[in-house]
Amino acid sequence: MSLSEEKKSILITGGAGFIGSNFVHHWCQNNLNNKVIVLDALTYAGNPENLAGLDDRQNFKFIQGDICDRPLIDNLLKEEHITTVAHFAAESHVDRSILGPDAFIQTNVIGTFTLLESFRHYWNGKKQPENYRFLHVSTDEVYGSLEADDPAFTETTPYAPNSPYSASKAGSDHLARAYYHTYNVPTIITNCSNNYGPYHFPEKLIPLMCINILLGKPLPVYGDGQNVRDWLYVGDHCSALETVINQGKPGETYNIGGNNEVKNLDLVILLCDLMDELAPNLPVKPAKQLITFVKDRPGHDRRYAIDATKIKTELGWSPEETVENGLRKTIKWYLNNRDWWQPLLSKEYQDYYLKVYNQ
């Protein structure tokens, strides 16, 4: 029986966050007989509403808790007979890491170490079953910044993180790699490009622009707007991660990209045009009148680009969504789910917004 056919009991850390919750929905839809345990600390970006509709599912359990809580992790692995860990839990916003880096070190480095140590002892106690997996979900930002004509990041690109966020993720990647090479723990690392889609916390670029357009507020664009990102629709990312869990080799790293390099300003203009088309009764139209250039982010990486050749050739995965199709789906979701995002525009969020953009 292959790993993909065998019934799994999966622990998904950070499963109430953006990518994590999308993966929870994806996994539940495609693996009906699996036990799914979601662990999330429910900090500002973790939202139980992201998991709405799953409470009644057989073999589903949500636990509020911290990945740094070793006794909790030990008990979960043992009591739930976990065979797979999908580790999403992380502090993930560059701007927040600039304002307060300590939380990033605690969660991303210490938290990942705690999970790895717990999983190592649990796996050893089970006599090292070959079908167990520890998937560590990371970012392309660990590779640093590219110039306009540099080749895209591959799995062998040297690490050169430029923000406290990317440095903390680089540290966690190195730990996951070390646990395979030192202890033979079956870790797999994935490094993805910028995700977008449903359940995305409003401070990130695409939901921020969508919501500000709906509210008639300025659209803050850093610097000259020429920074380039590769955009990956979150549904594509989830299918890639499922493929890696089922077919990936322990000790390997797989880059996951959308094959969609776009300058930030061009992306915001496209968003404006799509919002003009899809959103009725906008307070300001055309929406691109709201574009406002603001002081650049400190240490702002100029370009990210992912070469996803390895995952395509070795595992047969490639993305399906173009940027325009993915943005259409995303905009429609935000238009249809005001009750989800409106409560997130709290005083804490507004205070943070003022600090970052001085708006």
CA distance 97 to 163: 7
**Residue 140 bears catalytic tag:** yes
Question: Residue 147: left (phi > 0), alpha (psi -120 to 50), or beta?
Answer: beta
In the block, residue with structure tokens 């969508």: 210
C-alpha distances in Å from residue 225, one per residue of 107, 212, 299, 304, 355: 31, 17, 14, 14, 20
CA distance 335 to 231: 21
Q: Which residues contact 130 (CB under 8 A, 6 or more apart)?
A: 186
CA distance 138 to 193: 9
Among 141, 236, 242, 261, the one annotated catalytic:
141
Tell me, what DSSP letter sits at residue 344? G
Among 122, 132, 165, 196, the one annotated catalytic:
165
CB-based burial label for 313 (10 Å; 0-12, 13-18, 19+): exposed
CA distance 290 to 213: 8
Neighbours of 166 (CB within 10 A): 26
Residue 239 contacts residue 27 (beta carbons within 8 Å): no
**Residue 276 bears catalytic tag:** no
Among 140, 242, 252, 321, the one annotated catalytic:
140
Q: What is the DSSP string of 274-336?
A: HHHHHSSS-SSSSGGGGEEEEPPPTT---B--B--HHHHHHH-------HHHHHHHHHHHHHH
Active-site positions read: 140-141, 165
